Structure formats: structure tokens, C-alpha cells
Structure 1
């Protein structure tokens, strides 16, 4: 895991172009005795091969595999460019993380940055950062951009007899996962929830909240509140604006009269619906003809360049394509998202399982297999 220190951060930098920025970063790596002086050539060559811009104002310049012998100690040098640096293709970097890696440690850094890279608002916060501590907090994911919501915050088919019990369970889920304190639960059970239609209800509080999150509770019982059916309750604990995106998705579903899609969903589907992800189908809904497994041959796994090549191949097809690292946590992600693919932490020899759904699914899997077997641009 990337452990940043204030000594790793250099504030208020400016550069005419990305190659000038890389030279400055390489100089910092050399000054820290992390690399030998010739490492800069590897960083420039890597950039010429493929852009190291990741997204959300972040670039990760690093050396080529043949310059790893010039790395003395694994480490990083982070430069902050408040005016931005043109990183090509219309991308602007406000923070560049120069990586000196003796092996594939940079894959761990990429995985750690995934949440930061996928969150809205990070780019502006990085640009406007005024201190080393602020940049460290942003890169470490300590600044919350997305509301907490996972399986631990979902309770389906609870035998509740009234709305007070529903609120108590929803509040307790948020308390038990560290989003709120005991007093939050006491506050939420005294409030009157809002009916969103079709038995779906909404409630929230900003009292005694530690981190913004939401919980979902459905009931197996036939109960009512104020003369209206109660099937499910969504509860918010809010201490910042991280919940607004989820609230917007709920609003859209209600406007489309799709409350039942939330009420009937299982835990995985709920998470996908409320986080704006692709709703996964059960394995029984998928044709085995559209599933394929390939072994990664790249010596250093799926770092930025081969990862980008894989994603580019997947994007050529209209089908929904998901990929899981069978040697990792086996969680399937969108194969057309570079950040999601890199976050899988794929190393040499790992097996990736692809599932494709759509009219060109078979062609997509065949093309992806050919790309992987040919080395994803690395021979």
C-alpha cells in the first residue's frame, strides 16, 4: 500500500509540458536516492510508448522494465501542478506521482488510487490543494466522495411489524458499520419518513454522523405507515455531499416509476442500481458460450500500458463485457474501464475470466483472447 509522507510531496510546481514535468520528478527521485540518474530516460521512453495519465488530474510517470535495475529503493515523488500540465489528448494533470518500482509494486499503487480516480470532484480538489496533508488525504482516499453502501448496509426481508422497527434496523446498520453513532439511531426513529411510492420510503439525518452512508431495509411482513404500504426503507446518514449522486439515482428511478426494481432487487443488484453500475445477472442467465478465460503472459502483469490495450480492445465492441481475476477476489468489473481493470491487481500468470453479453459477444471474446495471447502490446 502507498504510504505517503509530507517529504514525498513537492508543492507549487510548474512545467511547460509533460516531458519537462517528468524530468523534474525524475530529479526528485534521484535526489532522494531512490533511483540512479539514468532512470529519467526510462521514464521518458515509457511516456513516449503510452501516456501515463490515469484520469481525474492524476498521472503516474514511471520507468520502463529495462530500467528497473536503476531503482535503488521502491518509492515515489509527488509533484503538484496547480496550473496544470498538458498530458496530451486533452488531459491535464494537476498531480503527477513519479514511481520508482523494483518490481510490480506500482500495481498496488494503481489499485489504491482506483476509488480516487473514479470519484467526482477529485480533479478540482487536487488542483486547489494548498498543503501536503491535503494532497495526501486526497490520494489516500481519506476524503469522502462516495457514500458508503455495501452488503453490510443491506437487510432484506426483515420481519418488521411497523415503521419504527424499520427505522431502528436501518439506523443500526449505519451505526454498526461506523457511519454514525448511537444517538443517530435515536434521532432517526423519531422522524417521519417520506413515501416515494409503491411502498418504498426514504428517511435521513445529519445528526451524530461520522461518514456519509445509506442503508436499505425491506420487510417480509405486510405492514403500513400512515395508511400506506411499507415494503422497503432507504435511510441516509449525511455529513457531507457524498450522498447526492445516490439521491439523484433514486429520484430518477422514482420518476420512471421503477420503485419495484429496488424493492425486488437482491443485495448485488441494489448496490449496482444505487451506485450507477451495470446490474449483474445471475450465472443462470448467462450463456456459457459467452464466457472465456485467458492467462496473462505479461511479465509484470496488467500495468498501465497493457491494461490500456486490453480496455481499448474491449471498447471496440458494443457488448457488455465484464472481467474477473480468478486469482484475485474474483469480483467481476467493467472490462471497458481502465481503472476497474487495473484495480484487479493482475500479475503474471493470473487467469482472467471474461463474460460478454450482446450481439457481438462471441467476436469480442475472440478478439480479447487474441490480444492477450499476443502480449497486449508488449510482445
Structure 2
């Protein structure tokens, strides 16, 4: 199977438009002895048929079936665009994978990319990537994109009597979830936290961290540390940049003099604030009571595999409304239509009927756009 490697990647490229980017990739494929010089025409023709944009900042330009005889050897050329390239239809590409394939080897790459196409934070991670190793790890699904923070990382109204107990409880929550080991616990307990204001404190460590995580603990008792009230402690375990969004949220609360608002929030409210992706996964799809719904038949010959699935998800993500979808032919449960992994998991085949339900101000527009996308073949004609 065709696989991606660091040797295939050219970093820090800048191109004004996708035609220039595709020409660069075609030249790379030619220089590497993978294709004949006029393979570019096939790549341009394929792009003219349907956009090769997959979603999450990734495109896979390749030739048409008519130009497969120009392929000397199956392979790829990958270009990284930290400033992005306009790929049309409002889509920006940060990584383009130019494919030279004698048959359908590119389907293997689509399969490899299935997970990363459904993850939040991929586009920013690709944009900020500093090395080929980082990009390959990201494409292989080996990079942590979202912080570990759910109900198991929250302890409200703990009867702590001092800061040491608060630190021990927060570190224990992270240890119990597997994010850290005992080295982290020992380091956090020994550290002096930083006061953020209104009795909210913060402590962090990168020792003994397996994956970046966050814990939140409040106390029901009256505690003090360095002559300041202790009402809550936020603990970060960091081994990458997955906690950047949470730090930005905390910074914004401090700037708005609203850090104390954390003290009155429930566990679900804290999750929604600091980790909306987890909150979305935990939520139950809305009922059809006041929602807009529509049923569409999938016309794609091979059903919803990675590419048309990604196009469907990209369409749904353009709207603010909450959108769910279920496969009427398999009696599936409704899933989030903005999650590629969940859409692929429906096992949609040619001719299957999908019921979409949308809640929100732009619900009707969303359903109409999804219907049009399905009717047009979801990028497959």
C-alpha cells in the first residue's frame, strides 16, 4: 500500500493559488522520476472535474485515469503551505499530497487519512507544523490534538483544608485517567501555584506526562495560601501544545475580570467552556420535535467512503446549526454530521437513504446545501 513518509515532504512552500501549487507538485513528481513531464495536464484536468480538497486543510491532487500511462512509478510528493493556499469554494489547504498512481493506490492514502480528516484542530496543527516528522505523525493520527478534559478530571466541592490537598486531588484525577504518572503528582504537590484572582489558582508540570490533560478542583472549605483565598485549582499536565486553547480561555477570563465565574459552573458547563468537542460528544442528538429534517439518497457508486464523506462533513461544517444524520437502511442511531469518523461509521452504501436533522437559525439552508452536495455527487460527479 502507498504510504506517506518524511522524504516525500517539502516544507514552507508559498503559492498564490491552487494551480501554482499543483504545478509545483507535478514538477516534484517529475523530478523524482515518478511521472512523465506532461502529467501536469492530467492533474489539472482532474482538478477541473472536481476539487481534490478533502477537508481539514488537506488536498490530494492527482491525474485522471486517462493519464495513468504517464506514471512511471507509484509515489507521492507532499507540499506544506503554512500560509495556506486558496483551493476554491472557501477552502484553504495547508498540505497538498500530489499522487502518481498506476491504479487505485490513492484509496490507501484516503483510508490512512480517514481519522485525521474527522478530528478538530488538524488545520491549525498543519499550519503550525515545523518539521516533516510532525506532519507525518499528525497524518498517522499519532499527534494529540485535543486536551484530555472530561467529567473524570473535575472534582467540585472537595473538603480540602489546604493547597497541598487541592494539588494532590487534581494530580490524582490526571493520574487516574492515565494522563500522568507519579512523577507528575510529586512535582505538582511540591510546587507553588499561581494565583489567577478571586481564589482561583493554577499549577502545571511537564514531568511524568503521558498526554496533555487538565484538571479542575474546587473546595467547599475556607482555605488560604500565601494569605489569599483558595477556592479552586486548575492543574495542567503538558507534553505538547494541545492545551493552548484552554490557556487562551483562561487568559480571556482574567482580562475580563471574570475568572471567578468558574466557581459557579457545573461540570458540564466547565467541559463546554474548556473542551467543547468533548461536550458535543457527550450531548444527545436533538429530537425531531422542532427540528428541520430531510431525507436524501446516496448516489455514489461506492457509498460514503473517505472522500465523499469528507465532502459531506465539510458542507455540514459551514453552518452553525447542530446537524445529525442517520442511515435509514441500517436502522442506525443519529450521529453528528460534522464528524467524519461518525459519518463513515454509518456504513453508507450506494442507494442508502440518509435522514438529516438540523436545529438552528440556518437549519433549512444547511439541509438544502447538503441535499445539493449529495445530488452533485459529493466530489465524485
* TM-score normalised per structure 2: 0.67
Task: Give, in whole Å, the separation in 1 of the partners of 2:348 and 2:69.
Answer: 22
CA 177–92 in structure 1, closer or farther in 2 if over 3 Å, else same = same
Q: Does 1:125 align with 2:129?
A: yes
Deviation by residue 1:197-250 (Cα, 9 ceiling, x = unmatched): 66654322244445433223456xx323217463x5321123455433211112
Q: Does 1:112 align with 2:115?
A: yes
Considering only aligned residues, what root-mean-square deviation do their CA atoms show, in Å? 5.0
Q: Quote the offset at 1:142 in angstroms.
A: 4.6
Query: Structure 2: which 5+ residue stretches go unaligned?
Result: none
Mean Cα deviation higher: 83-92 or 182-191: 83-92
Q: Does 1:224 align with 2:222?
A: yes
Task: Give, in whole Å, the separation in 2 of the partners of 1:359 and 1:84.
Answer: 32
Equivalent residue, structure 1, for 2:4 = 4
Deviation by residue 1:95-120 (Cα, 9 ceiling, x = unmatched): 43234545854443333334586353
Task: Give, in whole Å, the separation in 1 of the partners of 2:112 and 2:122.
Answer: 15
Task: Give, in whole Å, the separation in 2 of the partners of 1:54 and 1:233.
Answer: 41
Are the counterparts in 2 of residues 215 and 235 from structure 1 also a CA contact under 8 Å?
yes
Equivalent residue, structure 2, for 1:151 = 150
Deviation by residue 1:246-295 (Cα, 9 ceiling, x = unmatched): 1111232452637546753445x544421466965954976533164655
Deviation by residue 1:313-363 (Cα, 9 ceiling, x = unmatched): 763x6x523345668996526x4xxxx547843654377664433334245
Q: Quote the offset at 1:2 in angstroms.
A: 8.4
Equivalent residue, structure 2, for 1:236 = 236
> Secondary structure in 2 aligned to 1:112?
helix
Q: Quote the offset at 1:296 in angstroms.
A: 3.6
Q: Does 1:264 align with 2:250?
A: no
Task: Give, in whole Å, the separation in 2 of the partners of 1:39 and 1:95.
Answer: 20
Q: 1:21 aligns with which of 21, 24, 27?
A: 24
CA 11–240 in structure 1, closer or farther in 2 if over 3 Å, else same = closer
Deviation by residue 1:39-87 (Cα, 9 ceiling, x = unmatched): 87664333113333457874322456x6799899x97523346899966
Task: Give, in whole Å, the separation in 2 of the partners of 1:345 and 1:38.
Answer: 36
Task: Give, in whole Å, the separation in 1 of the partners of 2:47 and 2:208.
Answer: 48
> Secondary structure in 2 aligned to 1:180?
coil
> Secondary structure in 1 aligned to 2:180?
coil
> Secondary structure in 2 aligned to 1:79?
strand
> Secondary structure in 2 aligned to 1:288?
coil
Equivalent residue, structure 1, for 2:136 = 136
* TM-score normalised per structure 1: 0.67
Are the counterparts in 2 of residues 178 and 210 from structure 1 also a CA contact under 8 Å?
yes
- Taking the TM superposition and a 5 Å limit, the aligned residue runs for 1:1-379 are 4-6=4-6, 8-9=8-9, 17-24=20-27, 27=30, 31=34, 43-53=43-53, 58-62=58-62, 77-80=76-79, 88-89=87-88, 95-99=95-99, 100=101, 101=104, 104-114=107-117, 115=119, 118-120=122-124, 122-125=126-129, 129=131, 133=133, 135-140=135-140, 142=142, 146=145, 148-151=147-150, 154-157=153-156, 159-162=158-161, 163-194=163-194, 196=196, 200-217=200-217, 222-226=220-224, 228=229, 230=231, 232-254=232-254, 255=256, 257=258, 259-260=260-261, 264-267=265-268, 269-275=269-275, 280=280, 283=284, 288-290=289-291, 292=293, 294=296, 296-300=298-302, 301=304, 303-304=306-307, 307-308=310-311, 311-312=314-315, 315=318, 319-323=320-324, 332=336, 335=338, 340-341=339-340, 344-345=343-344, 348-349=348-349, 354-369=356-371, 371-372=373-374, 375-376=377-378, 378=380
> Secondary structure in 1 aligned to 2:222?
strand
Task: Give, in whole Å, the separation in 2 of the partners of 1:282 and 1:133.
Answer: 35
CA 325–62 in structure 1, closer or farther in 2 if over 3 Å, else same = farther
Query: Structure 1: which 5+ residue stretches go unaligned?
Result: none
Matched length: 358
